[in-house]
Amino acid sequence: MKIGFIGLGNMGGPMAANLVKAGHDVTGFDVAGVTVKGAAAAHSAAEAATGAEVVITMLPNGKILRAVADEIIPAMQKGAVFLDCSTVDVESARDVAAQAQKAGLSALDAPVSGGIGGAEGGTLTFMIGGDEAGLDIAAPLFEIMGQKAVHCGPSGNGQAAKICNNMILGATMIVTCEAFALADKLGLDRQAMFDVVSTSSGYSWSMNAYCPAPGIGPKSPADNDYKPGFAAELMLKDLGLAQTAAETADADTPLGARALELYRAFVEKEDGKGRDFSAMLPRFEGRGRG
CATH number of the domain at 194, please. 1.10.1040.10
What's the pLDDT tens digit per position in 126-181? 999 999 999 999 999 999 999 999 999 999 999 999 999 999 999 999 999 999 99
Q: Is 162 a catalytic residue?
A: yes
Question: For position 96, what pLDDT does the model report?
Answer: 98
Residues 107 and 198 in one domain: no
Residues 7 and 149 in one domain: yes
CB 276 within 8 A of CB 221: yes
For residues 96 and 84, give the distance between their C-alpha atoms in angstroms, rounded to a whole number: 9
- The CATH number of whichever domain residue 26 belongs to comes to 3.40.50.720
**Residue 290 above 80 pLDDT?**
no
CB 110 within 8 A of CB 85: yes
Question: For position 286, what pLDDT does the model report?
Answer: 87
For residues 68 and 48, give the distance between their C-alpha atoms in angstroms, rounded to a whole number: 11
- In this prediction, residue 195 has a pLDDT band, given cuts at 50, 70 and 90, of very high
Residues 62 and 171 in one domain: no
Crossing angle of helices 232-249 and 254-268, rounded to 10°: 150
The residues facing 56 across adjacent strands are 5, 83
- Counting every residue written for the chain, the total comes to 290
> Which whole number is the average pLDDT over 251-274?
98
What's the pLDDT tens digit per position in 51-107? 999 999 999 999 999 999 999 999 999 999 999 999 999 999 999 999 999 999 999
The residue from 162, 227, 237, 273 that is catalytic is 162
- If one counts the domains in the chain, the total is 2
What's the pLDDT tens digit per position in 1-60? 999 999 999 999 999 999 999 999 999 999 999 999 999 999 999 999 999 999 999 999
Secondary element (H or E) of residue 126: strand 124-130
- In this prediction, residue 289 has a pLDDT band, given cuts at 50, 70 and 90, of confident
pLDDT cut 90: percent of the chain above it:
96
For residues 171 and 167, give the distance between their C-alpha atoms in angstroms, rounded to a whole number: 6
Signed CA dihedral, 238, 243, 248, 251: sign only: positive
What's the pLDDT tens digit per position in 217-249? 999 999 999 999 899 999 999 999 999 999 999
CB 51 within 8 A of CB 25: no
Residues 65 and 47 in one domain: yes
8: domain range? 2-154
Residues 41 and 170 in one domain: no
- In this prediction, residue 114 has a pLDDT band, given cuts at 50, 70 and 90, of confident
Residues 236 and 282 in one domain: yes
